[in-house]
Structure 1
Amino acid sequence: MSRPRPRSKARLSPPLPPAADLLRCLLLLAAAVAVPSVPAVADSSAASPVIVATLCAATQAADPEGFDVSFVNTLELIYQNVTRSGFGAASSGTGNDSVFGLGQCLAYLTPTDCQLCYAQSRVKLPHCLPADGGRIYLDGCFLRYGAGNFTTNASDAGDTALCSNATAPSAPAFAAAAASLVRNVTATAPGEEGYYYAGTASASAMPSSGASRVYAAAQCWRSLNASACEACVASARDRVVGQCLPGAAEGYGLNAGCFVRYSTQPFYLPADAAAGGGSSTRHILIIVFASVFSGMAAIGIAFIWTRMRQRRDHLHHDDMDGSGEIIRAIAASHLAFRYEELRKATDDFNQIHKLGQGGYGSVYKGVLLDGREIAVKRLFLNTRQWTDQFFNEVKLVSQVQHKNLVKLLGCSVDGPESLLVYEYLCNTSLDHYLFDAFKKNALDWERRAEIILGTAEGLSYLHNASEIRIIHRDIKASNVLLDERFRPKIGDFGLARNFMADQSHLSTGLAGTFGYMAPEYIVHGQLTEKADIYSYGVLVLEIITGRKNHNSVASSAEGLSLMALVWKHYNEGTMMELLDPNLREQCSETEALKVFHVGLLCAQASPNLRPPMWKVVEMLGRADRALPRPTEPPFINVKGSNSDGSGSSYSLKSNSDKSPFSTNQLSVSGVQAR
């Protein structure tokens, strides 16, 4: 079996249309917002870790829908540990819905590379569903799920070896060196910290010549004990040596409990170390050369860009892609701002006027000469979007007009950097108030009720009333902005997608913020407006309790997630105990319970049971409406270990004979930044 070759992620950029500088600005319209949001997971065409192998079980889950919910919950639990220590194991559900999971990064990955690798595996592994088990090996990490507890298994029927198509150099000498090195690393790994060991050896007939080398590494998953690890790597060693040598330049031993690899490439070394670590003089020369080259490149890019702008008025696009009409319409509108005007409005981007900063750039308050207050986003760089995505998102921004949606005023591209201009909202975003012990006092019951209803009305417009059907994909407190009267406006359409009335769903890459993402979207990548409704339900529960969702792990004295806490009190008839103490004397029990009820209805695990947003608006507006009983939400099996009630630590029970795995409260950071 040959190893799948990595696919290049590079794409040829489309020809630059007329008005290139305006296009450069508009490419960023859908990706920016007046106040930056927290990191999120989004679509990208950036290079991803190479998938070595994916193995799916031959049997299917008895209850696919329930199994899917447990699957998502399990992988979310694993994520908490993988981001902290590189390893995680957990389980969720009962009976036919039970799902066990295990994820581990190999020890040579940096923490950032580990998150990237795990996130890639988390997105790809659901392709095995509705199979009741599956595993994926990437170039640096491993992830597996199953209906039974496999976490202590060293080997099973799915164990295999993969061999490269590339031919090994000087076969006899290489084969002997590679076999000896693999035996050495597999014999040593079980006794090392983390069950990991790597090494290198000369692979040439004359070791002193340094003509070629072989590299190898072995690692067991931390759920095994030392004896099980020893048996696992021995099995993987025999398989990879027996099947891949002497002919293959690279081989993988892929077992249930371990990973063994040899290669002619130093795969386990950092890029700078892999280069050989030359003398300091060599490093200085490289740095000097790189600096000179970078300077020349910058001059060249500036020259080319200047020439492009000079030719802008002389180029005539044939409008085959339909771009010319849109560009001309935007150019004729009042979107254009002069850079110098915005620089003066922000007092030369004075830090005193800085409102916030995110992955795309910094946002500053500005005052125009006519006295209008604006929010100016100073972009760090120009994002690369493909032509079809660009025009799709420009259309989204230009066609949505609603009192509960943030308004884009325009952009500037005539200066040294790109700027976006939005209406200024003096109270920034909801999360700045809701999760601050002092500022939340400004959010009385009347204002929170208006925020809940206004956000619902904005979403109802996007889903049903606008000219095009739009799914936002990233509804959360930081994307709900507040004006001077604390009226809500939904912002950040960078992840928004539209689809036709006759489409049942969109199949798209994972995007959004974990903790607000619907389970069926995480599992299958099939996007409908039900994903927004789920996010809205989570947001409603945050608003009325004043508690942050914490990516489905809340700091409660009971050690339960916010979702689990709300569900527990709902079943016990004690929902009012979760009402934000600041609201206790400001609303009736009937009003508060109705909002709790609506939040639970929107956050149900089954998408078909979530009410459409127009009905949510109706539910909130009519006091006499009888509401259906909600069903159990997802993500309610997260258990905490903070017995002292401090909320500072958690543990994830694995249902195995291992100890609970601790976790932290890291917010989900995007594998692919928006």
Structure 2
Amino acid sequence: MFPSPLLLLVFLVPSTPFSFADSDNSSPAIFLSVCGKNQTQNAEKFDINFVDAMEKIFQNITISGFATSYSGNPLTVYGLGQCFSYLSHINCQLCYSQSRVKLPHCLPSTSGRIYLDGCFLEYSDRNVSGDSVDDEDAYSCSNTTVDRNTRPVFAKLTADLMENLTAEAGGNASYYQVGSVQVEQGVKAYGMAQCWRSLNSTGCRDCLDKGRKNIVGKCLPADDGKAMNAGCFLRYSTEPFYLSGNTSSGGDSSDKLTVIIVVTSVLVALLVFGIIFFWWKRRSTSSYEHDEADENHEIIRTITNSHLSFKYEDLIKATDNFSQNNKLGQGGYGAVYKGTLPDGKEIAVKRLFFNTRSWVDQFFNEVTLINQVQHKNLVKLLGCSVEGPESLLVYEFLSNTSLDHYLFDAFKKTALSWQRRFDIIVGTAEGLSYLHNASVVRIIHRDIKASNVLLDENFRAKISDFGLARYFAEDQSHLSTGLAGTFGYMAPEYIVHGQLTEKADIYSYGVLVLEIVTGRKNQNSISTSTEGHSLMQEIWQNYNSDTLIRLLDRDLEGKCSQEEAVKVFKVGLLCVQASPSLRPPMWKVVEMLTTKSSNMPTPTQPPFLNSHGAQNGLSETSSLSTSMKFPDLGDQASLNQISVSMFQGR
């Protein structure tokens, strides 16, 4: 199980040619990653379809070793995954998980493919399952060769081996063949050829023939060569890179014994070297790093042995093996499933496809910190699982899913009466006020929006998706950091300077309030406006003309007093003011919403998107250039696929 401190030693070992040894994790090495040149015009919707297509592949690839999928119409995303046939089911799952983590780096490109030491994964905006060769085909040769005296024999025998393997692979049902040839005492050549199962026999032979010619003609006498084509993968090497159990030709019992010995020797060498390397690192690092490593390992041990730890097998059973029927939602790096524990308790399980050492540290940091944060308006983290190939987070289950499922659905939003909407607005404010001012650590969420506000059976609001946690110094006035969040909800000073404070959350909250009372999305409001104005621009104009009530959601007409509605509008406008210093703290927002005092400040102009997509209306801090454009990323387009929260110790 990968969180074991012993295994973490092995993760630190530099990579070797053997499968599944990587410099910073237990996952297979990446041979090649190719991203398409074209980019999607609607990143958010494309991302959602991408995640769904990848999830469908996962449902099948670990069972059969191959899967194709598609999701969305229009803006369809097609996927194709193939594990090399020498992998076990477990190693196939590990390989897919690694490719699934790395492939999103190609987004927002409309296509991408990745070849790992054991598997292949591809996505595209067109059906690529029948492609055998294309312009992106590549080959890779090692920089080392066999002994000078052995080169002629090695080249001849390896070329013959690859010719035989490609002929056999192209003619059998599995499109797969491996084998080896003895070159001389102590030198063997191992070869493998595999086509994706989506090809027909002609396409497979064409692909294998092109790959063979490339590595035989351009790599030999290098001691390792790989051909990575659209529809197949070929490799030869002096290392026994494929597992012995699935060889179907060219091998014998001595081959199997050799591979077993090599596997054992490599693992023992990795372990010994890992222990030595870890000992050296402990001596060479500063006392701070020493203490931090010990603390991380202690966190791992503490969580594994605590009430926060769930068994991977138990969560598999609870979710019916992550059945699509139990799927509640998804994000860029994982999906959420409903589960039922043996005692009948319902839970929500979030799957995260991460295995790296750095992710382990961040994962446990998040679990321990978020577990300390308890409030009626925050989704409760029940624990996690650190077993198996995936990291899993376990949350309380909320029957009414997220606010956006109701608010932006013409039929469902009738369930959101004025009182329920007001309670959601107040509850979200109370949750944020707790995060900013009352929790054991100072937390800035960075991605407050309707989809991150969940609703329980009584439609009580609970803020969710805290993402990755990290500290910053207590005496800092702000954090300078890369952008993370959702277009349409991000504060202007954060976009311009990357300076993060609680005021960024307050701005996002203000946008959410205005969406709740109007029933309209801020991000696509320009396209739905007859005058081409953004939602905030319309609200500001109606505020100045004292006609705010015109923008109240029609489903609320006659169901609340005009005074109540205008008050909530003004609170939203106060929170989205361009100057961060003018935005009220969340505790003050709660006070304004829950008291009858009429002494509210006068809002100043918010920033808003004009019809050309440039943000303006900034004051005090810094103005965006009028030429600065924001791409049309669709509704709630995320800059990254994972919400990121910031923590500061009190």
TM-score by length of 2: 0.54
Q: Return the offset for 1:332.
A: 3.0
Q: Return the offset for 1:476.
A: 0.5
Query: Does the C-alpha gap of structure 1 residues 588 and 349 become closer, same or farther in structure 2, counting only changes over 3 Å?
Result: same
Indicate which of 573, 594, 597 corresponds to 2:546. 573
Indicate which of 487, 497, 506 corresponds to 2:460. 487
Deviations 1:365-393 (A, max 9, x none): 11111010011223344366367755653
Instruction: Report how many residues are paired.
Output: 405
Q: Which runs of 5+ in 2 are unaligned?
A: 12-32, 45-103, 111-205, 216-226, 245-258, 283-289, 614-624, 643-650
Q: Return the offset for 1:425.
A: 0.8
Q: Return the offset for 1:461.
A: 0.6
Deviations 1:565-584 (A, max 9, x none): 11111111111111111111
Indicate which of 9, 18, 21 corresponds to 2:5. 18
Q: Which residue of 2 aligns with 1:599?
A: 572
Deviations 1:562-607 (A, max 9, x none): 1101111111111111111111122111111110000000000010
Q: Which residue of 2 aligns with 1:435?
A: 408
Deviations 1:201-238 (A, max 9, x none): xxxxxxxxxxxxxxxxxxxxxxxxxxxxxxxxxxxxxx
1:281 aligns with 2:209: yes
Query: Does the C-alpha gap of structure 1 residues 615 and 342 become closer, same or farther in structure 2, counting only changes over 3 Å?
Result: same
Indicate which of 592, 595, 598 corresponds to 1:619. 592
Question: Quick one: higher RCO (CA 8 Å, sep 6+), 1 or 2?
Answer: 1
Q: Which residue of 1 aligns with 2:514?
A: 541
Q: Which residue of 1 aligns with 2:82?
A: none
Deviations 1:159-197 (A, max 9, x none): xxxxxxxxxxxxxxxxxxxxxxxxxxxxxxxxxxxxxxx
SS in 2 for 1:376: strand
Query: Does the C-alpha gap of structure 1 residues 306 and 17 become closer, same or farther in structure 2, counting only changes over 3 Å?
Result: same
RMSD over aligned CA atoms reads 4.5
SS in 2 for 1:385: helix
Q: Which residue of 2 aligns with 1:628?
A: 601
SS in 2 for 1:396: helix
Indicate which of 656, 661, 666 corresponds to 2:634. 666
Distance in 1 between the 2:268 and 2:513 partners?
50
Q: Return the offset for 1:533.
A: 0.3
1:444 aligns with 2:417: yes
Q: Which residue of 1 aligns with 2:305?
A: 332
Query: Does the C-alpha gap of structure 1 residues 16 and 306 become closer, same or farther in structure 2, counting only changes over 3 Å?
Result: farther
Distance in 1 between the 2:263 and 2:563 partners?
64
Q: AA paired with 2:210?
A: R
Aligned counterparts, 1:34-49, within 5 A: none
SS in 1 for 2:332: coil
Q: Which runs of 5+ in 1 are unaligned?
A: 1-14, 25-46, 50-78, 85-110, 118-277, 641-653
Deviations 1:122-168 (A, max 9, x none): xxxxxxxxxxxxxxxxxxxxxxxxxxxxxxxxxxxxxxxxxxxxxxx
Q: AA paired with 2:302?
A: A
Query: Does the C-alpha gap of structure 1 residues 474 and 457 become closer, same or farther in structure 2, counting only changes over 3 Å?
Result: same
Q: Which residue of 2 aligns with 1:509?
A: 482
Distance in 2 between the 1:586 and 1:561 partners?
26
Q: Return the offset for 1:528.
A: 0.6
Query: Does the C-alpha gap of structure 1 residues 572 and 365 become closer, same or farther in structure 2, counting only changes over 3 Å?
Result: same
Distance in 2 between the 1:302 and 1:356 partners?
41
Q: AA paired with 2:5?
A: P
1:528 aligns with 2:501: yes
Indicate which of 565, 587, 597 corresponds to 2:560. 587
Deviations 1:541-573 (A, max 9, x none): 001100011267451223211110111111111
SS in 1 for 2:591: helix
Distance in 2 between the 1:81 and 1:354 partners?
27
Q: Which residue of 2 aligns with 1:382?
A: 355
Query: Does the C-alpha gap of structure 1 residues 566 and 17 become closer, same or farther in structure 2, counting only changes over 3 Å?
Result: same
Distance in 2 between the 1:381 and 1:411 partners?
14
Percent identity among equivalent residues? 60
Q: AA paired with 2:352?
A: L
Q: Return the offset for 1:524.
A: 0.6
SS in 2 for 1:521: helix
SS in 2 for 1:451: helix
Distance in 2 between the 1:412 and 1:283 partners?
42
Query: Does the C-alpha gap of structure 1 residues 538 and 611 become closer, same or farther in structure 2, counting only changes over 3 Å?
Result: same
Query: Does the C-alpha gap of structure 1 residues 305 and 498 become closer, same or farther in structure 2, counting only changes over 3 Å?
Result: farther
Query: Does the C-alpha gap of structure 1 residues 545 and 334 become closer, same or farther in structure 2, counting only changes over 3 Å?
Result: same
Query: Does the C-alpha gap of structure 1 residues 446 and 498 become closer, same or farther in structure 2, counting only changes over 3 Å?
Result: farther
Q: Return the offset for 1:671.
A: 5.4
Query: Does the C-alpha gap of structure 1 residues 291 and 634 become closer, same or farther in structure 2, counting only changes over 3 Å?
Result: farther
Distance in 1 between the 2:435 and 2:292 partners?
30
Q: AA paired with 2:462?
A: K
Q: Which residue of 2 aligns with 1:397?
A: 370
Query: Does the C-alpha gap of structure 1 residues 328 and 438 become closer, same or farther in structure 2, counting only changes over 3 Å?
Result: same
Aligned counterparts, 1:200-279, within 5 A: none
Distance in 1 between the 2:412 and 2:5 partners?
48
Q: Return the offset for 1:421.
A: 1.5
Q: Which residue of 2 aligns with 1:203?
A: none
Distance in 2 between the 1:112 and 1:513 partners?
18
